[in-house]
Amino acid sequence: MLFDYKYAGNSTVSSDTHGTAMSFAPDTLRDPVAFVGKLNKKVAFREAISALHDVVVSDLRFKPKDKTAYKEWAAEQEKLWLSEYMSQSQVEEVRTRLAEVRAELQHIRAEKERISGPFNKAKRSYFDYLYSKDKDAWFVLDPVITVHPDEVFFECFSQDESSYGKLSCNYNVFTGISEFACGTTNIDYSAALYGEFQKIRNYKDTSFVIDPSGFETQTTNEATYKEVKIDLPDSWVRGFLQVSSAMTLPATTFELHPMDIYSLCQYLRRFKEQEGPRALRFVLEPGKPIQLVIEPWYETLTFHRSVYTGNDNRTIRIWGRRRLLTLERLIPVAKKIRVALLGSGLPSFFMADMDDMTFTLGLSGWTSNDWSRAGNFDLMAPRGHVDLLTKQTVFNALRENWKASVEDLTAKLSLSSATVIAALTAYTQAGRVIYDLKNGVYRVRELTQDPLDFNALRFSSEQERMASELIAQAAVKINTHVENETLHITGKVKGKKETYNTLAVIDKDQRLIKASCECSFYNANQLTQGPCEHILATRMALHANVLAINNN
């Protein structure tokens, strides 16, 4: 997916004994976005923006060691060993057998590469190209900044696309705000800026500028602009959409004291597991301190400062725990850490509350299961059908104040909450709206200047394609009943070889909160890679029946 960026010069940070000036160069090809002010919460902002940088450069993918020198040494030792302890005929026999085993291994590796290699090769070749041609672009791939009437927020992804970072700063973080223009833009954010951020001090004034002059373009100044054409992988864009969809799903929430995070990080720093399992197990009992079991040692940390206030006993396991070390820098400045867990093996969100700033760390189910490739959380979001005019009406109402809750839009537009949620979900999955997990509101955030290829991004799921075929073939029969304010849909889905019994539980906001099926895909993955085609078809059949009734 090709994106064109055009910056009015470079982002800069200048520092002297009297003050620090931060000036970000926005993308001049987008609608004007500007902000001019001074930092009020300097140290807290420095730590938070540095933690965001830690997300950007994070890459926990497995990197094999360079064994070239060892292999050369081993080959020499093999020659010595063979010549000293074996006769010539034995040597030849061993060499023949070694050649046969190596040929077998080579065939196995080739078969594995044939199956999974093309995707990984294409994905990583892009990053290798950036590293050799433009190290700054490789180092910081996806700087996105949004200015709203009440806050400014930054968003980014890690290099392995398994971690999402968002830093939200309300206007109390700044002082002397002279002007701002709302919107979203990409900013020129080079690797050298990180070192300059560390020079921010309480005793020095720090100005913060998203340079508005970047929009006052003149033809004669064309040479001063830096043009960048980046062919971003679809996975980067799809990852943003999956995060936005996951934020809207039901979650188990609780609060941790910052020192609880310190205890966890300290343990992870002291011990490194040599074998699995490598999960964190949250044990939640109403009215009792939250407990954390660290596998594989099964060490239990009891957080006496943090009491679970939920109503049900829950045990939730999450993986990819070393990504939580990103929160270390925020421990001294955070007041509390709010945690939202979607379920075992599903994404989790950790929100560090710093009064006027909130740092959100979104983690995929585990490190190798990145946000874009195996999530499909948009398939679990509300799937209602809304006509284009109604969707545009909802978006225009949201854009008037740049943020709004479902209740506000429902009252303002005299529409049902289901219609408003379906419209907002459609724009969330199109990259134009983001859900604010802390405040429970939707915000306008145009991920790109030009409309995204919605079909390519949303319907890249093979399960959704097969579910649509099942609906077209009338292979789904369903029954429904209401239980505890949730809609239970039981279905019989006729597959190619057998019929599957399915269950889909929909909450009042039309979100899929529970599901089951008898197929192999569900038995192998549960919902960690999204629902199977049979569950999707069961859900889609409900909407097809409603549309048929309305049309009659």
> 191-229, pLDDT tens digit by residue?
667 777 888 888 888 888 876 554 333 333 444 444 444
The mean predicted confidence, pLDDT, of the chain is 80
The segment(s) of the chain belonging to CATH 3.10.450 are 462-551
DSSP string, 131-170: HHH-HHHHHS---EEEE-SSEEEEEEE-TTS-EEEEEEEE
Quote the pLDDT of residue 330.
Answer: 96
The string of pLDDT tens digits covering residues 364-419 is: 888 877 676 545 666 666 666 788 899 999 999 999 999 999 999 999 999 988 88
Architecture of domain 246-379: Roll (3.10)
Handedness of CA 45, 50, 54, 56 (dihedral sign): positive
C-alpha 296/C-alpha 456 separation (Å) is 41
Q: Which residues of 194-203 are buried (b: 16+ CB within 10 A; e: fewer)?
A: bebbeebeee
List Cβ neighbours of 321 (8 Å cut-off, separation of 6 or more).
264, 268, 278, 279, 280, 294
The pTM for the full model equals 0.73
Reported as a single tens digit per residue, the pLDDT across 438-462 is 899 999 998 776 665 555 544 446 7
pLDDT at 399: 93
Higher pLDDT, 6 or 494: 494
Q: Where in the chain is the domain with CATH 3.10.150.10?
A: 246-379
348-368: per-residue pLDDT in tens? Answer: 999 999 999 999 999 988 887
Range of weakest confidence among 21-25, 87-91, 215-219, 459-463: 215-219
- 462-551 fold: Nuclear Transport Factor 2; Chain: A, (3.10.450)
* Nearest Cα residue to 261 out of 307, 315, 327, 321: 327
Interacting residues of 418 by C-beta distance below 8 A, sequence separation 6+: 382, 384, 509, 510
State yes or no: pLDDT of 323 exceeds 90: yes
The topology (CATH level 3) of 382-456 is Arc Repressor Mutant, subunit A (1.10.10)
